[in-house]
Structure 1
Amino acid sequence: MDKKIEIIQLKGNELKRYQECVLDIAKDLVRVCESEGIEYSLSGGSILGAVRHKGFIPWDDDIDINIPRASYSKLLSVFEEKMGEKYYIQTPKKFPQIGILVTQIRKKNTIARRKYDWNLEQCGVSIDIYIIENVFNNPVKRFFQKNISMGLSFAVSAIRACNNCGLPKELINLEGRVLNYTKSKLIIGKLLKVISLKKWIEWCDFWYSCCKDNNSKMVSIPTGRKHFSGEMYLRSEMCIFRKEKFETENFNVPIYAEKYLEFFYGNYMELPPVGKRERHLFLELRF
């Protein structure tokens, strides 16, 4: 990665065309979810887009989806039959070399190469799937599930930071997202690499999903930006849905979406200053 690399930032009509491509993936996924009884909702910034903009955040280009663990397992079982003609799915366990703990549904015959998949052969236009995990009611079990999960997440993050430390600094700086590539984290990543990234990801998945109670009071989205402890919610608030318009479609959002947005973003109706708006950049793009 030491050669000069062109960094691609979408604007204007090209951004709109890319958003339409991403929206098509989400629409196809939602059709499968609704026909197969798979629970889902928009996630994170996509909830914000639906509530504040009735669609994409104008400068954004992605759609994030939450799916409870039981429904996620069902999606994997029907994916090839229902979506395999147009799409492929990249799970963390099947593609550990990416080093991310989020599942991605990608469109075939496209390329949308970003910083985390710079060395991956298959990297089509994608949407992200975040698994809603059950959390133990028992406080002792919950303590171990939460803290071991967060420790393992940090291990994966440290190894990924170590693997990606050669990425162009221009790419990282332009995106506007603070990445913790501290020297100590890189050293820890190098030490932890003696165990394969695949094994660390398998351990993460085991501890994330170790509670099998689909009626537990609490749930968590451990792969979310605030990690396991910061992404714990009442099941009654995160896993009951209502419809909200997103561009041309009506998608599920959590029933108390506004409460979620206030917790996550504060005054979520106020637009951030231009300089603090997160940007998604590409190293290669064909769609």
Structure 2
Amino acid sequence: MFVSKKRLSQMSNATDELHMLSEEDLSKLHACLLECLKDIMEVCDKYSIKPMVGGGSAIGLVRHNGFIPWDDDLDMMISRKDYNKLLKIFNKELGDRYYLLAPGRKQGANCYLARIMRKGTTYVNMLSAGAKYPNCIYIDLTPIDYVPNNKIMRKCKGFISNVLKFASYSVFWYKNQNPYLANYMNSNEESKKYYKNRLFVGMCFSFLSAEKWFAIFDKFVQGKETKYMTIASGRMHYSGEMLHKDVFFPVKEGKFEGIKVYIPNDIDKYLSNLYGDYMEIPPEDKREKHLCVAFDCNHEQ
């Protein structure tokens, strides 16, 4: 489903329509995401593809045996080899029920990583509102790439990677401006200044589309097999997510809400690098949540 710019213009002045999902909506969202996870894992097992639960979802698996109670997404990560394999068989195996947005795909991309979106659902946040892509409930799928063994080469590649990542999404912000994001970012002076700077960067790089920049970033971060790997599109960027390959592989099996999934070989080291003491439950005002514009998980077709 899409939320058009015409529809955005018909909505009221935005800020009072941004909201957190209710407990009831979160429960429905979790149920839908679990259906998606089952479908994806079934296909992946058929083709010997082994995506792992990652990010906050990996914390949920360890600390809560599934979703963090207030979490509103599901994160997965995957080796570049398996990522490419999944992209090739996606339309055949999952195309009837899901969209796949990913850098370099004909269907386009609304980010520098892949998103598997459940057809017939609606999930619009303040970043995606008004864009030309489907706004559906989705699972993020992030490729894991090798990094150069040489430290100088690693630093150079990491710097360029981070520039491309920042620039590509800045172009997306610039090309897809909407009142929800603008009103939210202009709510205080600090975020207003950041927003203006981000739009300026987006304007400077807008000689190419965001889709092309996402594809350039995705191609650039790939590398030949070495001792170390990173998730260049992750929350801590290229260098912050760099770990020895043994931390990720070989993968191990785990359970997420009773569903068989894969996890990093050393999940403690992986999570400690990202979050520090990941077993400590954060206070309510520090919990990560996303502001929502519209939500509907009814995917009957």
Tell me whether the two structures share a fold, i.e. TM-score over 0.5. Answer: yes
Q: Distance in 2 between matches of 1:96 and 1:76?
A: 13
Give the structure 1 partner of residue 206 of structure 2: 193
Supply the distance in 2 between the matched residues of 1:268 and 1:179 (Cα, whole angstroms): 31
SS in 2 for 1:275: helix
The equivalent residue for 1:278 is 288
| Residues 1:217 and 2:227 aligned together | yes
1:18 aligned onto 2:45: no
Aligned-residue offset at 1:75: 0.2
Q: Distance in 1 between matches of 2:268 and 2:192?
A: 27
Q: What is aligned with 2:4?
A: none
Aligned to 1:128: 140
Aligned to 1:41: 52
Pick aligned residue for 1:259 from 251, 259, 269: 269
SS at match of 2:260: strand
In structure 2, relative to structure 1, the CA distance for the partners of 1:8 and 1:78 (3 Å cut) is same
Deviation at 1:266, TM superposition (A): 1.5
Conserved? CA contact 1:244–1:251, under 8 Å: yes
CA 1:173–1:102: 2 relative to 1, 3 Å: farther
**Retained in 2: the 8 A contact 1:221–1:228?**
yes
Instruction: Tell me if structure 2 keeps the 8 A contact 1:222–1:231.
Output: yes
Once residues 7 and 167 of structure 1 are traced to their aligned partners in structure 2, the CA distance between those partners, rounded to angstroms, is 11
Pair 1:197–1:66, CA change in 2 (3 A): same
1:151 matched residue in structure 2: 163
1:244–1:252: 8 Å Cα contact kept in structure 2? yes
SS of the residue corresponding to residue 59 of structure 1 reads coil
Structure 1 residues 136 and 199, CA gap change in structure 2 (3 angstroms): same
Normalized against structure 1, the TM-score is what? 0.88
Counterpart position of 2:127:
116
Checking the alignment, whether the CA contact within 8 Å between 2:50 and 2:262 is kept in structure 1 is: no
Q: Which residue of 2 aligns with 1:32?
A: 43
Structure 1 residues 29 and 179: CA distance shift in structure 2, 3 A: farther
Aligned partner of 2:279 in structure 1 is: 269
Q: How does 1:136-147 map to 2 (within 5 A)?
A: 136-147=148-159
Moved more, 77-86 or 195-204: 195-204
**Displacement after TM superposition at 1:81 (Å):** 1.3
Stretch deviating more after TM superposition (240-249 or 68-77): 240-249
Q: 1:52 aligns with which of 53, 59, 63?
A: 63
**Aligned residues between the structures:** 280
For structure 1, the 5+ residue unaligned runs are none
Aligned to 1:4: 13
Q: In structure 1, which of residues 208, 221, 230 is the aligned counterpart of residue 221 of structure 2?
A: 208
Q: CA RMSD in A?
A: 2.4
Shift of 1:123: 1.6
Q: Secondary structure at the match of 2:243?
A: strand
Deviation of the 1:181 alpha carbon: 2.8
Which of 179, 182, 197 aligns to 1:184? It is: 197
Task: Assess, with a 3 A threshold, how the Cα gap between structure 1 residues 251 and 102 changes in structure 2: closer, same or farther.
Answer: same
- Looking at structure 2, the residues matched to 154 and 251 of structure 1 have their Cα atoms a distance apart, in angstroms, of 31
